């Protein structure tokens, strides 16, 4: 998928979990990505992060390490 679309989708997930109470938002974002994103999509995300993660929410970048 286009990088813009992937970034948009990942940031939407981060936006939701950021609004939730608690301390473990990055883990919850990572958990959501593990549960619902097919490995190809997670690989694309990690590759994007490796290249600097342009446009990604910080929470997504933090979560991507645990995906």
Which positions lie near another protein, rule CB under 8 A?
1-2, 5, 8-9, 12-13, 15-16, 19-21, 32, 34-41
Q: Which is nearer to another protein, 22 or 52 (CB)?
A: 22
Q: What does the alpha-carbon distance between residue 14 and residue 30 come to, in Å, rounded to a whole number?
A: 9
- Taking the complex as a whole, the smallest distance from the CB of residue 14 to another protein amounts, in Å, to 9
Q: Is the CB of 2 or the CB of 52 nearer to another protein?
A: 2
């Amino acid at each position: 998928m286009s990088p813009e679309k992937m970034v948009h989708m990942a940031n939407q997930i981060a936006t939701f979990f950021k609004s939730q109470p608690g301390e473990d938002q990055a883990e919850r974002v990572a958990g959501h990505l593990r549960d619902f994103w097919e490995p190809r999509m997670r690989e694309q995300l990690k590759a994007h992060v490796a290249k600097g993660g342009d446009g990604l929410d910080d929470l997504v970048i933090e979560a991507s390490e645990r995906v």
